[in-house]
Amino acid sequence: MYLHADSARCSGCRACQLACSLHLFGENNPKKSALAIIPHFPEPGTFEVRTCTQCGTCAEVCPAGAIRQNEQGAYYIDAGECTGCLSCQSECPEQVIFSHASLDVPIKCDACGDCIAVCGMDALSLS
């Protein structure tokens, strides 16, 4: 199961990023979300949504074995096991594992789906 995004439907409102940071950290901070909204302006004038495809590359490269799958098959980072080496971030093919100065471990989507409920453009879904 992974979060699928239809970038053509994205308006760039970033409500998904707010919902994500609220889920992961209880904070209204889009810089602590696990998906990326990339504006392409002035041309072609669209937003690109990048999400984790749950490919497992991050788990394969993690030297500490801190990235595991949950019951739904989504990969997550065990903060207690993570050493903060950021190997997962540098190897992520979708570039959707993020670091934040206030955190010791990287941020990764756990396919919770909270972002789907707030997307007014129906650009997100779980597949």
CATH code of the domain in which 90 resides: 3.30.70.20
Cα–Cα distance for residue pair 26/120, rounded to 1 Å: 21
Residue 5 pLDDT greater than 90, yes or no: yes
Q: Rounded distance, CA 76 to CA 57, Å?
A: 12
pLDDT for res 76: 97
Mean pLDDT of 59-87: 97
Model confidence over 50-71: pLDDT tens digits? 999 999 999 999 999 999 999 9
Instruction: Give pLDDT, residue 92.
Output: 98
Domain count, the chain: 1
Domain hosting 14: range is 3-126
Return the residue matching tokens 């998904």: 16
Give the model confidence (pLDDT) of 102-123 as tens digits.
Answer: 999 999 999 999 999 999 999 9
Cα–Cα–Cα angle for 71, 1, 5, rounded to 5 degrees: 145
